[in-house]
Amino acid sequence: MPKLLIRNCQVLQVDESEARVLPAQDILVEGNRIQAIAPTGQLDPGPSARVLDARGQVAMPGLINTHAHVPMVLFRGAAEDVDAHAWFNDYIWPLESNLEEEDVYWGMLLGLAEMIQAGVTSVADHYFFMDQAARAVQEAGSRAGLGWAVFGSQGEEGLKRAARFVEQWQGQADGRITTWMAPHAPYTCDDDFLRATVEWAKRLGVGVHIHAAETREQTESSLARRGLTPIQVLERTGVLEVPTILAHLCGILPQDIPILAGNPVGVAHAPKTYMKLGMGLPPLQEMRAAGILFGLATDGAASNNTLDIWESMRLMALLQKHETGRPQAMPVHEALWIATRESARVFGRPDDLGHLAPGYLADLILVDLSGPHQQPVHSIPANLVYSTRASDVQTVIVDGRILMRDRQLLTLDLAEILGQIQGSMERLMQRVPERRIQVYRP
Amino acid sequence: MPKLLIRNCQVLQVDESEARVLPAQDILVEGNRIQAIAPTGQLDPGPSARVLDARGQVAMPGLINTHAHVPMVLFRGAAEDVDAHAWFNDYIWPLESNLEEEDVYWGMLLGLAEMIQAGVTSVADHYFFMDQAARAVQEAGSRAGLGWAVFGSQGEEGLKRAARFVEQWQGQADGRITTWMAPHAPYTCDDDFLRATVEWAKRLGVGVHIHAAETREQTESSLARRGLTPIQVLERTGVLEVPTILAHLCGILPQDIPILAGNPVGVAHAPKTYMKLGMGLPPLQEMRAAGILFGLATDGAASNNTLDIWESMRLMALLQKHETGRPQAMPVHEALWIATRESARVFGRPDDLGHLAPGYLADLILVDLSGPHQQPVHSIPANLVYSTRASDVQTVIVDGRILMRDRQLLTLDLAEILGQIQGSMERLMQRVPERRIQVYRP
């Protein structure tokens, strides 16, 4: 692959205490890595390099979605204004019983198209038929950490399939695909099943991606049933010993925080879903103060309605200010830090993702700030958090390859994807009484 | 003006109990009004009509921003992560002391461009140098209810200027401009000043647009100082006797609700600003149950960072679910009702704005749902509330005139506007110690 020179952009640099923007920079990409960043004109890319003019645009790390069920875009808007019990039992789990392999493939492609158009370059996905999802990731060119979701009711067989998926796909697509074991949740997997999952994870050298303490109701039910919080269950079954993405945690209790702080976990935070389903919020500030990592997430589009990490970032920051009554809470640089470098840690790539610097993966996006909703620009970091729309992302590069340029998708045929999905809709949207993949009974 | 036929769109219809979409409709516009809506092909517009093909797009009423300070787009992102005292005293009021007439003109044009691109066709604006804002509205083609903001410290002279503005501009721009008296707030205007304002409003036959009880601190301070809530002050000074837009009310107390319910008031609701500044929220559900009207708003872009009513609508609904813990709260149709018909009432046009039907003003927008973040579409109303971005608005019509077509602004020259603003930035962004238009001391 020839070198790629991104010319004359403004480069966002975020650390834990500030967000800065370097004006008029060139970024040189060689292979799938950033080779150098320097003031415009100082780098010599050689005669064969491809040059991308990015004058006035902001270069920043591609956004990372640390917890999603991407193919659920198929059910976007299909279950509105209902509580969690109805959401699972009357809509989503009956609908998911209609899913066939091909649905996951096309749904994954659609969701990846949506995310590429929104500048989301990496996703930790937790769903079914994940070999199909992996196939879609291969084609789209995105980066993904994939886990085949398993319920305890699927027993040994389900677990083995999830493990086989890890064996087959870990490191595939030139390393763009990584994998996790992905048991559904403590309330749908018994202790032996969780222990067996951890065994597999350790044997395969991967982490675990799991829902936990999604609501206070789940925690209370666990306490009533067995005197343990869901987090204590995860500790006792060894889940927290391996690198783990914990989705949601809106229902955690104070005693859970020291447990999490002592283990290699990251929390996937999907505030739009929490608001929409009235789930409450995890005590994010207190948990981060205890050293627990947070990554931004969307959850599935059946609850979140989009896969837009800009919206997750904005809501995360707004909610911290709202909940505390302190406008100083979650300042702009902290929101950007979580969206980029901390999300990269939760995603399992602390050392070469979520930051623009030599040696890091060339996963980056170019954001246009020329629209009237962005002008005049007094603070690029503030604009990125509070004014930027997904549609301001112009160009998306993953692993050194351009996936979108000037808003044109280069790897995916959206019309074909939508046509395929349209053809399956009638079958997919059937709801047959008593047919569902599980019963929600936390 | 020749007739305009909008062909083959889907028409959103919202009432208090549901939101429906009529498929495959034509909308016939004559002059500045909707003449007819009927299934595609049934209307004969005559040979000279202009035809707009809107296949697959959703036609809905243009959005209404019931409280803004539009020219504050000039200060977008300039005061971040600070409390209300610092926001006013250290940033905004010092910066506003730099404003000259031309700044308001260009700032207004920029904000109107932003709103047109977001499908916001009407705005109730509350700012300074409003003759310049009116000039901008004339040129942009938007609909606006304008009030010249006055502090009590400006006395008789300020009041007369605001009244003169009303006399000059009420009904101008072919009726697209209406006006209000616009005293700043009870904590910056004494009782005599408020009474005099009401006198003027009654004499001129217009309403009042004012900030009130923006935070609990303001209410407590008013109670401590004089034993009255800000709402009681407005009642006692007669402000509530005329049609009044009350901005924010995050600090109201239970005893205020019956007062408001008995008077011709509407509440402008700007949830992004409330979250961002940690202001709390008004008890929206309880107030609406008492019969008090709500309209969506953005406030100024110095706090809200955009003038995007889609975002206001989404946050309003999400916050109601979040605050109550009930995902059933503020269902999709209620959010759309508030965004359209109830906002039109607050804006002072209950009978011919905020709804698509024969006889209503032809203020309408065409929204594209073909993007990957919208597909597949199971519920157009749900998509409008939870998946639509401002950038999905394709075409904007106000008063029968097309202001944006296929995302191209037809009445405004954005490059010129931005150039003019850029040239004033250095002067505008000076902060001179102790120079500010007011001191925030609620």
Predicted local distance difference test score (pLDDT) of residue B84: 87
List strand residue ranges (DSSP E) for B202-358, in order. Answer: 207-212, 244-248, 265-269, 293-296
Residues A370 and A322 in one domain: no
The angle formed by the CA atoms of residues B226, B227 and B230, to the nearest 5 degrees, is 80
Of A278, A306, A390, the CB nearest to B325: A278
Kindly report the nearest CA distance between residue A280 and chain B, in angstroms: 7
- Put simply, the chain B residues between 239 and 278 with a CB less than 8 A from any chain A CB are 272, 274-278
Asked if B77's CB is within 8 angstroms of A377's CB, the reply is yes
Residues B198 and B287 placed together within one structural domain of the fold: yes
Query: Does B424 fall in a domain?
Result: no
Kindly state whether residue A242 falls inside one of the protein's structural domains.
Answer: yes
Q: Is the pLDDT of residue B431 over 90?
A: no
- The predicted structure's pLDDT at residue B51: 96
Interface test with A, best of B58, B73, B76 (most A CBs within 10 A): B76
- Considering only CB atoms, B318 lies closest to which of A78, A272, A373, namely A272
Query: Do A277 and A373 reside in the same domain of the chain?
Result: no
Is A420 domain-assigned? no
Angle between helices B101-117 and B414-428 (to 10 degrees): 130
Q: Is the same domain home to B216 and B362?
A: no
What is the rounded CA–CA span in Å between residue B131 and residue A84?
52
Same domain, A22 and A133: no
| Selected residue of A72, A76, A114 to mutate for chain B interface (largest B Cβ count, 10 A) | A76
Average of per-residue pLDDT across A154-174: 97
**Which chain B residues are Cβ-neighbours of A114 within 8 angstroms?**
371-373
Q: Which residues of chain B have a CB within 8 Å of the CB of A303?
A: none
Residue A159's pLDDT is what?
97
In a domain, B417, yes or no: no
A330 and A371, same structural domain?
A: no
CB spacing of A75 vs B378 below 8 angstroms: yes
pLDDT of A442? 85
Tell me: pLDDT of B353 over 90: yes
Is the dihedral angle over the CA atoms B121, B127, B131, B136 positive or is it negative? negative
Residue B440 falls within a domain, yes or no? no
Q: Look-up: residue for tokens 């309209």?
A: B295
Chain B within 8 Å of A372 (Cβ-Cβ)? yes
Asked whether residue B285 falls in the same domain as residue B321, the answer is: yes
Specify whether the CB–CB gap between A165 and A201 falls below 8 A.
no
- Contact state of A332 with B306 under an 8 Å Cβ cutoff: no
pLDDT of B387 > 90? The answer is yes
Give the tens place of pLDDT for each residue, A293-336: 999 999 999 999 999 999 999 999 999 999 999 999 999 999 99
- Of B346, B376, B395, the one marking the end of a domain is B346
Which of A76, A275, A315 is opposite residue B321, by nearest beta carbon? A275
Same domain, B153 and B186: yes
- CATH number of the domain to which B167 belongs: 3.20.20.140
Contact A66, A340 (CB under 8 A): no
Dihedral-angle region of residue B360 (phi above 0 means left; psi in -120 to 50 means alpha; beta otherwise): beta
Segments forming the whole domain that contains residue A124: 63-346
Residue A433: predicted pLDDT: 80
Residue A227 reports pLDDT greater than 90 = yes
The answer to whether the Cβ–Cβ distance between B272 and A324 falls below 8 Å is no
Q: Answer yes or no: do A327 and B382 touch at CB < 8 A.
A: no
In Å, what is the CA distance from A219 to each residue of A223, A231, A320, B209, B285?
6, 9, 23, 48, 29
pTM reported for the whole predicted model? 0.98
What tens digit of pLDDT does each residue of B114-170 get? Answer: 999 999 999 999 999 999 999 999 999 999 999 999 999 999 999 999 999 999 999
Distance from CA of B213 to the nearest CA of A (A): 16
Residue A383, in any domain of the structure: yes
- Whether A327 and B274 lie within 8 Å, measured CB to CB: no
For chain A, the domain total comes to: 2
In chain B, residues 10-49 whose CB comes closer than 8 Å to chain A: none
A98 to chain B, any CB pair closer than 8 A? The answer is no
In whole angstroms, give the CA distance from residue B16 to residue B266: 17
Distance from CA of A372 to the nearest CA of B (A): 5
Q: What is residue B442's predicted lDDT score, i.e. its pLDDT?
A: 85
Distance from CA of B74 to the nearest CA of A (A): 6
Among candidate residues B27, B21, B42, the one with its CA nearest the CA of residue B402: B27
- Please, which residues 44-73 of chain A have a Cβ atom closer than 8 Å to chain B? 73
What number is the average pLDDT over the span B435-440?
A: 88
Residue B41: strand, helix, or coil: coil
Whether residues B257 and B322 share a domain: the answer is: yes
- Is B52 domain-assigned? yes
- Residue that terminates a domain, selected from A346, A367, A390: A346
| A&B contacts, CB < 8 Å | 190
**Encoding tokens for residue A287?**
């948990």
pLDDT band of A104, cuts 50, 70, 90? very high
Contact status of B357 with chain A (Cβ, < 8 Å)? no
Region A213-237: what's the mean pLDDT?
97
Does A89 contact chain B (CB < 8 Å)? no
Determine the length of chain B.
442
Whether residues B105 and B247 share a domain: the answer is yes
For residue A47, what is the domain's CATH number?
Answer: 2.30.40.10
Interface residue B430 vs chain A (CB under 8 A) = no
B182 touches chain A (CB under 8 A): no
Q: Are residues B252 and B278 in the same domain?
A: yes
Choose one of A297, A322, A346: the last residue of a domain.
A346
Please provide the DSSP assignment of A185-229 as one string: -TTTS-HHHHHHHHHHHHHHT-EEEEEE--SHHHHHHHHHHHS--
| pLDDT for res A144 | 98
Are residues B41 and B99 part of one domain? Answer: no
Structural contact between residues A124 and A145, judged by C-beta atoms closer than 8 angstroms? yes
**Average pLDDT over every residue of A368-376:** 98
Listed as own residue / partner, the contacts of A430-438 with beta carbons closer than 8 Å and 24 or more positions apart are A430/A98, A431/A90, A431/A91, A431/A94, A431/A95, A432/A94, A432/A97, A435/A94, A435/A97, A436/A89, A436/A93, A436/A94, A436/A96, A436/A97, A437/A93, A437/A96, A437/A97, A437/A151, A438/A88, A438/A93, A438/A151, A438/A153, A438/A184, A438/A188
Average pLDDT, chain A: 97
B180 burial type by CB count under 10 A (0-12 exposed, 13-18 middle, 19+ buried)? buried
- Restricting to B residues 318-337, those with a Cβ less than 8 Å away from any Cβ of A are 318-319, 321-322, 324-329, 331-332
Please, which contacts does A151-155 make with residues 24 or more away whose CB atoms are closer than 8 Å?
A151/A183, A151/A184, A151/A188, A151/A189, A151/A437, A151/A438, A152/A183, A152/A184, A152/A188, A152/A189, A152/A190, A152/A193, A153/A188, A153/A438, A155/A193
Span B177-209, pLDDT tens digits: 999 999 999 999 999 999 999 999 999 999 999
A77: which chain B residues are within 8 Å (Cβ-Cβ)? 377-379, 382-383, 386-387
pLDDT value, residue B216:
96
Q: Give the dihedral sign, CA B66/B69/B74/B79.
A: negative
Q: Do the domain assignments include residue A438?
A: no
The residue-averaged pLDDT of A397-419 equals 98
C-alpha B138/C-alpha B68 separation (Å) is 18
Contacting residues of B for A120, CB less than 8 Å apart: none
